[in-house]
Structure 1
């Protein structure tokens, strides 16, 4: 008979569901599968998630307007919120009416002016040997407005995407009506021991977001109205349209200012050199007031974002998620920055508290030894 070999000890297998080893392995596998599935789901649902975040930002604006109105009108919060919502609806309706019925012809004129100006720039570059003469003006215009056509297509889609804007406003209104309800809902998903830290971080981040958005709206109003009045006074054509575009683009710091400045200067120089210089002066005045007056006031009362961090976040999120990511770059970065700073303060305070307790315990033990 063959010699029997001693079998190695048996290890639990997949069928031993209640064994400690199998349970631990299942937990590890479940964690990795959940992380992979969550990442895939996040990539798949990023656009609806951005809509929800935009709704929360809009709720922050409504809440800020409600609080501000409470300093003047001593009435219930619900009535103040209703007044703010009515004012927002009137403003949006007026802006839409102005853009569609009053500025439609100016939009076509603006596109024609930009086409002519860029073709003139191409001819100047060719005449100075900075561009190949084989590239025709029509090719430059086609390439230029190939990308401009994407922007125009987005504008058309944005104006037609009433459902997306309506969802943002509905989410914002519902959250602004009962903000504490949703705050408790977020806290419910966090362990009880961590909830005091969550409430602290949430309140500070929310306050900074409200102030940042209020300052952004103030800057948009000052830039838009100021640009419109100054361009109108200096005789630059399409002053109303340029003022509206400047105010809207002011929501995007750095990038928005560059785009609006380019548009103003191109339109100004389309008339003559003197009008172009006036346009440059208007742009410099408006940006100086915004940079040295509005931005410092907002920075003192809210989170101070370094310009390079703002621009980098806008480029990254814009490339990843399109125009929605570009528009939400600043709020997201502000919330992340404030949350990380406050969490770091909480950790530091706990460490200092533990060190003080250790010192007290050490001194108490030393005193007891001395007494003995």
Structure 2
């Protein structure tokens, strides 16, 4: 027999004790997890947006409860009940006013806007600005297609009411006991990260409350101001235009454009003088909102660049439909607040956020 040499066995590729195999498995798990997370966001986009909408509504209720506490020294539960009843009454009253009291105006409004838009398109076609004969319904279909897919939850009036109801319920549950849900999320984090999480959520909540307060003020100013000035100038359907302007003011940039087009079209349907007055009203209302309300809100919250907000609206609207368009601004504001808090802590200072 020949000399026997000692042979040391090496770990094979299926041996999990091999450090190389463990490292590769960890890398693969990270990539698989990221892929599954992206797929989950795509598949669960609608429920996630409803939850985000609930957070926005909860911030409105919480902000109103805190504000009411400055003038009414009663328990938080009673203050929250008063604010909730007022919010529900406002939403139900708005739906009732738009659906019942203004139903006749709404039918005439749709016909007026369509007729005026078709007249403008016909004029543009005769002067070579548009190719061929283009009708308003064709442009509407293209805009809706460009806006993105509207999911089944918001594609009908029943779906929209259901989504609004779910957002209100989620927001109410969160507003009743926000610390409970905050601690629940923090429980899933490592102990060393929980203090930073609490500081970040505090700053995000502070920012969102101020943003929503400014947004509600802007909606009220634009809605009431538009209605009063249009009524003063004899523009038809002033109440309906004021209501639509106030609702669309929740969508910065895009809402102002849509409401301006509607106001001008209805104004010119009553004559040149009414049309010019409608243009003046739109300019005055937007100047008040743009030079007084928006800068004040920006100083109290975060300074969001208009191009950033508009880009986020277009992106979220294309990806997630109407809800994505409506929630783009709050999402960007919360993301920026979280990034600023992280940057402050990394630089050595912990920014103070009001609890």
- TM-score normalised to structure 1 length: 0.85
Residue 200 of structure 1: how far off its partner (Å):
1.4
Query: Which of the two has higher C-alpha Rg?
Result: 1
SS in 2 for 1:209: helix
Q: In 2, Cα distance between the equivalents of 1:169 and 1:183?
A: 19
Task: Report the counterpart of residue 31 of structure 1 in structure 2.
Answer: 30
Counterpart residue number, 2:139:
144
Over the residues paired in the alignment, what is the CA RMSD in angstroms? 2.6
For the 8 Å contact 1:12–1:22, the answer to whether it is kept is no
How far off is 1:289 after superposition? 0.8
Q: C-alpha displacement at 1:191, in angstroms?
A: 1.6
CA–CA distance in structure 1, aligned partners of residues 157 and 182 of structure 2: 30
- Contact 1:12/1:21 (8 A) holds in 2: no
Higher relative contact order (CA 8 A, sep 6+): 2
Q: Does residue 13 of structure 1 match 2:8?
A: no
> Which is further off, 184-193 or 330-339?
184-193
Structure 2 partner of 1:52? 51
Matched residue, 2:187: 188
Question: What's 1:66 paired with?
Answer: 65
Report the Cα distance in structure 1 between the residues aligned to 2:222 and 2:156, rounded to whole angstroms. 26
Q: Could you tell me whether the CA contact under 8 Å between 2:226 and 2:285 is conserved in 1?
A: yes
Counterpart of 1:349 in 2: which secondary structure? coil
CA contact (8 A) 1:60 1:206 kept: yes
**SS at 1:236's partner residue?**
coil
> 2: distance between equivalents of 1:116 and 1:155?
27
Q: Higher helix share goes to which structure?
A: 1
Deviation (angstroms), 1:202: 1.3
1:263 aligns with 2:262: yes
Q: How many residues align structurally?
A: 344
How far is 1:160 from its partner?
A: 4.2
Corresponding residue for residue 326 of structure 2: 327
- Show CA shifts across 1:17-41 (max 9, x none): 4554444443333222222222211
Unmatched 5+ stretches in structure 1 = 351-372
For 1:245, the equivalent position in structure 2 comes to 244
Conservation of the 8 A alpha-carbon contact between 2:56 and 2:171: yes
TM-superposed CA distance for 1:145, in Å, is 4.4
- Look up the match of 1:112: 111
Q: How far 1:56 sits from its partner (Å)?
A: 0.7
Task: Tell me which residue corresponds to 1:284.
Answer: 283
**1:113-167 deviation digits (Å, cap 9, x = unpaired):** 12211221123223334345xx34xx52441343588899998714544332221
Counterpart CA distance in 1 for 2:19 and 2:141 is 62
Query: Residues 250 and 337 from structure 1, CA distance in 2 versus in 1: closer, same or farther, beyond 3 angstroms?
Result: same
Range that drifts further, 253-262 or 27-36? 27-36
Structure 2 unaligned blocks of 5 or more:
350-355
Question: What is the deviation of 1:8?
Answer: 9.1
Output the CA distance in 2 between the equivalents of 1:103 and 1:178: 38
2-side partners of 1:321 and 1:112: how far apart? 29
Give the Cα–Cα distance (whole angstroms) in 1 for the partners of residues 95 and 122 of structure 2.
38
Q: Secondary structure at the match of 2:347?
A: helix
SS of residue paired to 1:11? coil
Correspondence 1:318-357 to 2 at 5 A? 318-349=317-348
Instruction: Give the aligned partner of residue 227 of structure 2.
Output: 228
Structure 2 counterpart of 1:358 = none
Distance in 1 between the 2:142 and 2:110 partners?
13
Alpha-carbon distance in 2 for matches of 1:344, 1:52 = 27
Shift of 1:103: 1.3
Aligned-partner SS, 2:341 = helix
Which residue of 1 is the match for residue 42 of structure 2? 43
